[in-house]
């Protein structure tokens, strides 16, 4: 069993909702199925993102003239330069993936949010980060922000990608790349969680994340307050995002 937390608390902070017109400044392919697009514009001057778990709403128009909105993680924000990097998984032929695949500097875009931030303390004894390619941008940001010496295990279902920056926790990071959702669950099931109070953050396809949450609660006997599991997408659904807290 894992002892109940001490004084660590997750902070939930609300932000004023803003809609921002931005311009594509740079396009960088991180792997065959992941591209980082840097947006710029003076509308970003007051942009705030306090957590790797944040989301901005990307507004796109389809060929039929319909408006669609998709959630993406703000990976890196440079206040002085007024630039914001967002990473897109290039899977299938969805509206957002198609836009990102063809994006060129100078194109215009509209983003909104974040509406709020869930700030997870960084001083846990250990961190377990789990997800598929949709969660990789958030995992990458968390790894970038964790302090030197943080004990981290990451399990990712996706193609290995080369991050543009090194991580402060490189020397204490154990990275597992797996080939499918079953392998992701099998790998987590085989982990021995370290001693001390840790935190598990996970996101990905709905059914996979529900199975993972059950594994953490029952097989690993991890208390609810030491995890945050979210469904970023659902097989067969084009727009889906759900927290699995109940």
Q: 229 phi and psi, to 5 degrees?
A: -120, 130
- The mean pLDDT value for 203-228 works out to 95
Alpha carbons 175 and 182: distance in angstroms, whole number: 17
pLDDT in tens, 47-93: 999 999 999 999 988 778 889 999 999 999 999 999 999 999 887 67
pTM of the model: 0.89
How much is the pLDDT for 1? 40
User: How far, in Å, CA of 150 to CA of 146, rounded?
Assistant: 6
Residues 10-39 pLDDT 10s: 999 999 999 999 999 999 998 888 899 999
Nearest to 178 by CA among 188, 191, 165: 188
User: Other C-beta atoms within 10 Å of 91: how many?
Assistant: 14
């Amino acid at each position: 069993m894992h002892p109940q937390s001490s004084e660590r608390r997750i902070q939930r902070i609300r932000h004023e909702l803003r809609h921002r017109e931005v311009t594509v400044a740079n396009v960088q392919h991180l792997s065959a199925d992941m591209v980082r697009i840097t947006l710029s514009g003076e509308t970003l001057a007051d942009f705030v993102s306090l957590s790797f778990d944040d989301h901005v709403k990307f507004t796109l128009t389809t060929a039929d003239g319909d408006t669609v909105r998709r959630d993406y993680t703000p990976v890196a924000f440079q206040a002085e330069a007024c630039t914001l990097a967002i990473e897109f998984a290039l899977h299938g032929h969805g509206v957002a993936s198609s836009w990102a695949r063809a994006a060129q500097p100078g194109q215009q875009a509209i983003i909104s949010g974040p509406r709020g931030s869930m700030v997870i303390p960084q001083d846990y004894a250990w961190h377990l980060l789990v997800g598929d390619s949709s969660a990789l941008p958030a995992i990458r940001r968390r790894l970038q922000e964790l302090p030197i010496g943080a004990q981290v295990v990451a399990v990712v279902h996706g193609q290995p990608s080369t991050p543009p920056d090194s991580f402060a926790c490189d020397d204490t990071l154990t990275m597992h790349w797996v080939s499918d959702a079953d392998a992701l669950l099998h790998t987590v099931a085989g982990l021995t969680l370290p001693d001390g109070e840790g935190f598990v953050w996970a996101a990905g396809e709905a059914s996979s994340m529900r199975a993972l949450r059950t594994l953490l609660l029952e097989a690993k006997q991890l208390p609810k307050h030491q995890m945050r599991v979210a469904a970023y997408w659902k097989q067969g659904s084009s727009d889906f995002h759900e927290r699995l807290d109940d």
